[in-house]
Amino acid sequence: MRLPAPFSQLDLANESLLVFGAYALLAGLYLVVVPLALIWWMQRRWTLMGKIERTAIYGLVFLFFPGLLLFAPFLNLRMAGQGEVDA
């Protein structure tokens, strides 16, 4: 099969690199950037959220679960205590 003149092999290679780059960018956003932003938001607002905001956050957790799962072993989401307790 012969390609039309404007589509040389070099153009197809560059186009393939652009497509691969776009997929890598979307994967990075889905697996790294948005989950980290979501975790940051949850840590800041956990005790202050209203019903609608909490429902929206739970929906985003469901949507970005694979990325959140990647960072789960490295996070501590426990709330800070009231200070040291003397025994």
**What does the domain layout of the chain look like in residue ranges?**
32-75
> CB-side exposure of 62: number of CA atoms within 13 Å?
6
Q: Is the pLDDT of residue 5 over 80?
A: no
HEC states along the chain?
Answer: CCCCCCCCHHHHHHHHHHHHHHHHHHHHHHHHHHHHHHHHHHHHHCCCCCHHHHHHHHHHHHHCHHHHHHHHHHCCCCCCCCCCCCC
Task: Give per-residue pLDDT as tens, 19-53.
Answer: 899 999 999 999 999 999 999 999 898 889 999 99
Residue range 48-69: average pLDDT? 94
Q: Is the pLDDT of residue 3 over 80?
A: no
Q: In 3D, which of 49, 69, 51, 50 has the Cα closest to residue 61?
A: 69
* 64 touches 30 (CB < 8 A): yes
Residue range 1-7: average pLDDT? 59
Q: Average pLDDT, whole number, for the chain?
A: 84
Q: Is the pLDDT of residue 85 over 90?
A: no
pTM of the model: 0.72
